[in-house]
Structure 1
């Protein structure tokens, strides 16, 4: 059979009839004409790829944006606090002085550092009337720097400052819980602590650090020190609060005892919350895996869609294919043109879908107040994958169409 076909081809060439040829340039031109000449058919074929590529780019973009938000949230809430306490409560107060704090605040990564003293529960009442039962409230003394580290969120009033600390002004800040216990709803009123009057300067509803302050009252450190000496009650607990830059808490936790008491750093204990980097990596990894899975499914759906649409479109063009074969087009010409058409459609669908995905990522991010993370690489990958998907999707229907005999094709 092969010999007879070869003989036929030789006889045709002896008659001066050349075998039909179709350069790649002509194949591309024919494919482009077919795609652009039937926009409705092309749109039906490529709609699945557009949606798949859009979902791919949008899911990757939103996943990267969410990862960025997770990282930003962890960075903002990462351990930025160090608490330094003496191993022995009776340790001399030299480590607590201005010189020691000066060395500490000069460390790279320290934002603020201040002294604090906790006096335990103190009797508080609205009036000096001895018949009124006092309310026991934990009392904290903090200098302005320590107060900045605690960062109370004020409901009304203000925080005390260096003036109040320097002059040991008897002012007090109350948490919402303590204010309700004492029946106080505004500032400027007086309360009595251990029968001494204090002016309420502020009421706070939350603190950024040291949540124990939410059930306590806060006075200037100098005022609390005088009160401790006057009452001689239960031993006070002294410590140093340090606010650090994000990520520096562990380092400052190791350096703080040496800065505060260089002659005997082992006598101090620094407590620094762990940096939750492992948890952040787990969350980011889970988000990335979920995003890639959704993106892969979206592209797979687009590939199946363009394959089905291409099969239906080629079946509707059986007459056209038969006519091409009748006028000399060879099977490989038909196969190449149809595969190029689906590849071109896949590339166009990928480009349009990538633009829609970028637009969707930007809109969702802006609506939620996020900083959108647009990865041009993912858009290019979507275009490339869509082109390859279109090419692969057209292989089977193109091969079937190329095998249809011309006479049979023209009869359909």
Structure 2
């Protein structure tokens, strides 16, 4: 106890930057007006929302009127997929996705399958990549939507989004990408990449929790997801969470301002961590593509240990990490992503995800490199399989 917290789980969530908190605070107190009201403090709230909309659109190369605020990235995924499916079911009922999507996409697709839609779940290779050719080959005359995540939340692999977007555009099929992990980490231009719909969430880039956004290209046929009042131009009812929307705008502005500088620092930490751990510790495998990966993502599988024990022991040393998706960490099942890239159950169970953020330092990595080999060795000493390997000096 008493150890300084070393936070290495930024893919799960981030802290809220002081500048973001500062921008939000007045909208809890003196600027508390309902944006639907016509008097002064209502108009101030409305103006703040529109300013944030501009900041989000500027960050991704969109128009302000193409940005719709939601309660989360999950809501944005649900709205994009169900919204397109139901608005275009007279044209067709086929959706293409991958088998490593976030559950916000997978469970939405499964829901639609129960409602008469047909879904193709494309397999990925051992690095977690899907090819544009796979997508092209899966297209049918009744295909209405392609939904493929920009970058994977567990293994960090970045998909060939621009190439897939070009195929979708050529075939006249809507293309949605879940960019919750990518935005704030990768430069994104929705026009250049032919993205029709894109989901985002503020708490992944130093903004508040409980606010997301959906980019919807002008002209996309989409049914409304929440019915009620006329908020968000009649597309998404409910009184706007103005402080959170203001926080979203400020956070995305900050996150995209110095992206290259930020990434240079984060990638140096990532690459050093991967190189040193794979050198120091035997029987370890990097998951995800070595180069085409998020700047701050390290995902490793250690043979002969349980990931949960590893996380608890790291926590005792003041290091917060993850074994995969934050939304499924309560589950005892191995990650669907790790199984999809071909890892056997027993190795998938021994996975560790480290995701770096702007306050991480070389000293943090030093500490990790000091304690991790000791923890891994200690846990392996409890494994009869590891004992066999040590005696026979070979892998099993």
Q: TM-score, normalization: structure 1?
A: 0.18
- Comparing both structures, which one devotes a greater share of its residues to helix? 1
Q: TM-score, normalization: structure 2?
A: 0.19
User: Which has the higher Rg, Structure 1 or Structure 2?
Assistant: 1
- Comparing both structures, which one devotes a greater share of its residues to strand? 1
